[in-house]
Structure 1
Amino acid sequence: MDCFGPFVIKRGRKECKRYGLIFTCLSSRAVHIEMLEDLSTDAFINALRCFISLRGSVCVLRCDQGTNFVGAKNELQRALKQCDTKVLEAFLADKQCKLILNTPSASHAGGVWERQIRTIRNVLNVTIAQCPGRLDDASLRTLLYEAMAIVNSRPLNVDVISDPKSLEPLTPNHLILMKSKIALPPPGKFEKEDTYSAKRWRRVQYLTEQFWSQWKKEYLQNVSLRQKWHIPRRNLKVYDSHYQGRHASKESVAARASGRDN
């Protein structure tokens, strides 16, 4: 469990800040995102209750203490420190759920979920920053749910992802929804001009496409096997210090480099 934000939204004539609360399952690798109106203890409990109502009960919750937020997120650090941890633990104990807090300044202790959270958080920040107008509460919540559906459709098994004849890979949506059919996107073509449109659903769908495009570059292209050199490198030459094995030496590399196919 981790927080990210803030996002500035428009509520009437006022501008307010909203935050995101993301959960990731260590078994199914599924994610769930809820919107927070603020970083108070009540907002955390309400969001956690929404998560439990939709996804079921939780046995163990792991999170850090907010010290991994740096720079512009100092406001988030101060707000998280003001949360009443005892109230949260009492609520979780009543639900038979154990809350485990990582050691401060030790984000590596939760690396198994921090990596997933960081990718989603960074892409969402870039996507929402592209919108010239402010989103409202409903639009931001819809965008978070659309991003959640995209991330939960990622393949868990990447061994045969490059084979077009292979079976459909297993995804977190298969495990949490028990359905193999994916939801179709809304019909129509969404362009950048939709961010200025009065139809808010078109604005959200354009941002959803931008999230998919950016997240695909950040995550999916790193898990598929591609025989491609991204950085130009010269070929191996004689006397290069290139050790392929435990007992390899420069002489063996020189002998291989001076073959007929050189």
Structure 2
Amino acid sequence: MTCTDDQNSILLQTAVGFVCANHNDNSRGLYKNIVFDLCSQRTYVTDETRRLLNLRTVGRENLLIKTFGEETPKLRLCDIVQFTVAGDDGLHLYVTAHCVPSICNAISDQLTCNALVKYPHLRGLKLANPSGPSDFAVDILIGADFYWNFFCGETRRGEFPGPVAMLTKLGWVLSGPVINNSSSDQCTINLSHTHVLHVSSVSDDNCDVSSIKSELNKFWELESLGIRNDESSVLSDFNDNITFEGKRYEVKLPFKENHLKISDNYSTCVKRLSSLLYRLNSKPDVLKEYDRIINEQLSEGKSYGVPLAPPLPEFRLSDDFAFTNIGVDYAGPLYVKDIYSKSGEMNKVFIVLYTCASSRAVHLDLATDASSSSFIRSFRRFIGRRGVPTLVNSDNGLVFKSAELRAFTNSRNIKWCYNIERSPWWGGFFERMVRSTKRCLKKALGNAHLSYEELLTLLVDIEGVLNSRPLTYLSDDCIEPLTPSHLVLGRRILSEPLFTPNPKVVGNTSSEFCKRKKYLQTVINHYWSRWRNDYVTQLREHHRSRVKTGPIIREGDIVLVFDDKVSRLNWEMGRVDRILPGRDNNVRSAVVRVQNKQGKIIFMNRPIQKLYPIELVRD
């Protein structure tokens, strides 16, 4: 801002510096006008200067820009660039700035040369802006983020009124009033994108009442700083929000209802916390009750409310070939005898369970360890027998997240989906089969010690039993129950079928083979039709969940993260960084920001059932 009248003009801290994109390439640099402004939080450069210097974008940031008279700030996405400014000592100062179309109007009446002559304390100084009274177009504004990188700390003051000189690495800059010998009746305020008030001397004959009212309205809008409202609504809000607190009346400020959310800032949070403690200390009873509620929430608080379960995903209801969409999980470990060792040592093995998401058929295999290479070999055996799956669903075990496995699945166009950490019920369709497998193992194995071959044979037998289990209830008109083996092979695998709808076709002619193929396809289609009509319908009837009432999760909530390995008093405390809506736009999981014991900030995904809010929020 520059203000001039018949007495003096105000000098701003301006300079002219050599600016370039890289200090190693001075041939493309230009001399640009710079203004220093300690009240600006950021440094800015005009788009025109960026274009001339060919500055490269290093980032982007959303800024809320608000000027005088505006009620709401404007959100603007600004590019971030870097450049260097050459100092008098030959060193280059690196600066990061935000790009804007313009910074402000041209600054006028910067009489720096006249100031050197008029004021003794300025004589002999090398100015950073040795310009005359011409307009000074601002190309770069150095804000508080880089302000003190330029200033050296030396200051020269004279008698008041007079400018103050400050030494920078570009030379001396002047700031303050300067006596102006020229007379002027006009006061101008140079601002960019805001209300500008012009006051001029006019005669009574040329006085326009409407223009005066217009100028006065602009003046009051400028003075209101964006908090001006309709007078009737202000009075109504004033009367509705008066409260009597013992010896005094308290009234809420009307313009604070829709105030902007304060950004995350450590010093601001400390001040607000200190203010809260000061108010609570003045009321011991309230402080005692506040402490009781917080401790009760820490020790006995409920987790967040859980919405109804969403509809089953499409891959659970797909009638594609069996094992097109699968779930995979590890179970164990188990121990097997080493038949090649005389001492009878026991070795550790793991069960790898694959289950079809629609037919509910299982495929069991053994892995020698929990490494990614061992699992990939098991996965290759599965593909060789069941075919390449389209979709694989699993938990977040390390064996399923290795780079080697990711490269293997990408080469075969297999999509891999992971459930949220610490939420086994999200993979219920394969976790339930793990339970059934363990139950069969417990009954068949007992305390016996088997070799690798014997255990593998037992697993294949269990696989046959599980694939022969009925999927639907038996009715009077149903001769044979529907099993996963019917959907995979078209027949039962542990016993002869009870009913053969068509006799076998024997022969070697082409027509007989076509009839046989058509018959087998009809059998498969028949079982899949029963699967759609019976199994899926019953699945819908039993797929019901109850709503768990509780607080509603919000971003920024302070929460305790459930951990079944430690007591509640030792649970980690974190903040909800981001919520994760589901297919039906209901929130069932969130990303929590937590600081671990080493002081490192980590982000973890957790279901909302395992997040316990500390703060109470009034809905």
> 2:381 matched to which residue of 1?
50
Three-state SS of the structure 1 residue aligned to 2:438 is: helix
By how many angstroms is 1:112 displaced?
2.6
In structure 1, how many angstroms separate the alpha carbons of the residues matched to 2:462 and 2:399? Answer: 29
> 2:348 matched to which residue of 1?
17
In structure 1, how many angstroms separate the alpha carbons of the residues matched to 2:481 and 2:463? Answer: 18
> 1:139 matched to which residue of 2?
454
Q: Which amino acid aligns with 2:334?
A: F
In structure 2, how many angstroms separate the alpha carbons of the residues matched to 1:52 and 1:115? Answer: 22
Alignment of 1:188-199 (within 5 A): none
> 1:7 matched to which residue of 2?
334
By how many angstroms is 1:58 displaced?
0.3
Alignment of 1:27-38 (within 5 A): 27-38=358-369
* Residues 354 and 364, structure 2, Cα contact 8 Å, conserved in 1: yes
State the 4+ residue runs in structure 1 displaced beyond 3 angstroms: 81-84, 180-184
Judging by fraction of residues, say which structure has more strand.
Answer: 2
* Residues 156 and 171, structure 1, Cα contact 8 Å, conserved in 2: yes
* Residues 39 and 83, structure 1, Cα contact 8 Å, conserved in 2: no
- Relative distance call for 1:177 and 1:83 in structure 2 (3 A) is closer
Three-state SS of the structure 2 residue aligned to 1:33 is: strand
Match of 2:464 among 138, 149, 155: 149
Three-state SS of the structure 2 residue aligned to 1:43 is: helix
1:68-95 Cα shifts (integer Å, max 9, x gaps): xxxxxxxxxxxxx367622111101111
- Relative distance call for 1:17 and 1:167 in structure 2 (3 A) is same
By how many angstroms is 1:48 displaced?
0.6
In structure 2, how many angstroms separate the alpha carbons of the residues matched to 1:123 and 1:154? Answer: 13
> 1:60 matched to which residue of 2?
391
> 1:240 matched to which residue of 2?
none
CA RMSD of aligned residues (A): 2.2
- Relative distance call for 1:26 and 1:147 in structure 2 (3 A) is same
> 1:208 matched to which residue of 2?
none
* Residues 330 and 353, structure 2, Cα contact 8 Å, conserved in 1: yes
> 1:76 matched to which residue of 2?
none
Three-state SS of the structure 2 residue aligned to 1:123 is: helix
Match of 1:119 among 436, 454, 459: 436
> 2:423 matched to which residue of 1?
106
In structure 1, how many angstroms separate the alpha carbons of the residues matched to 2:399 and 2:434? Answer: 23
1:16-70 Cα shifts (integer Å, max 9, x gaps): 111100011111110000001111111100101111111111011111124xxxx
Three-state SS of the structure 2 residue aligned to 1:61 is: strand
In structure 2, how many angstroms separate the alpha carbons of the residues matched to 1:105 and 1:4? Answer: 16
- Relative distance call for 1:10 and 1:126 in structure 2 (3 A) is same
* Residues 352 and 367, structure 2, Cα contact 8 Å, conserved in 1: yes
Query: Which of the pair has the greater relative contact order for Cα pairs under 8 Å at 6+ separation?
Result: 1
By how many angstroms is 1:96 displaced?
1.4
Judging by fraction of residues, say which structure has more helix.
Answer: 1
Alignment of 1:40 with 2:352, yes or no, is no
In structure 2, how many angstroms separate the alpha carbons of the residues matched to 1:82 and 1:28? Answer: 26
In structure 2, how many angstroms separate the alpha carbons of the residues matched to 1:52 and 1:82? Answer: 18
1:167-219 Cα shifts (integer Å, max 9, x gaps): 201111112122346358xxxxxxxxxxxxxxxxxxxxxxxxxxxxxxxxxxx
Three-state SS of the structure 2 residue aligned to 1:109 is: helix
Q: Which amino acid aligns with 2:378?
A: A
In structure 2, how many angstroms separate the alpha carbons of the residues matched to 1:148 and 1:82? Answer: 23
> Whose radius of gyration is greater, 1 or 2?
2
Three-state SS of the structure 2 residue aligned to 1:157 is: coil
In structure 2, how many angstroms separate the alpha carbons of the residues matched to 1:100 and 1:175? Answer: 25
- Relative distance call for 1:7 and 1:49 in structure 2 (3 A) is same
Structure 2 gap segments, 5+ residues each: 1-327, 497-537, 539-619
Q: Which amino acid aligns with 1:154?
A: R
Alignment of 1:156-195 (within 5 A): 156-160=471-475, 163=476, 166-180=478-492, 182-183=494-495
Task: Give the paired residue count.
Answer: 166
* Residues 40 and 83, structure 1, Cα contact 8 Å, conserved in 2: no
Q: Which amino acid aligns with 2:465?
A: I
- Relative distance call for 1:181 and 1:127 in structure 2 (3 A) is closer
In structure 1, how many angstroms separate the alpha carbons of the residues matched to 2:366 and 2:442? Answer: 14
Q: Which amino acid aligns with 2:330?
A: C
Identity of aligned residues (%): 33
In structure 2, how many angstroms separate the alpha carbons of the residues matched to 1:140 and 1:182? Answer: 19
> 2:259 matched to which residue of 1?
none
By how many angstroms is 1:131 displaced?
3.6
| TM-score for the superposition, normalised by structure 1 | 0.58
In structure 2, how many angstroms separate the alpha carbons of the residues matched to 1:137 and 1:41? Answer: 20
In structure 2, how many angstroms separate the alpha carbons of the residues matched to 1:33 and 1:93? Answer: 24
In structure 2, how many angstroms separate the alpha carbons of the residues matched to 1:122 and 1:181? Answer: 21
* Residues 392 and 417, structure 2, Cα contact 8 Å, conserved in 1: yes
In structure 1, how many angstroms separate the alpha carbons of the residues matched to 2:358 and 2:389? Answer: 12
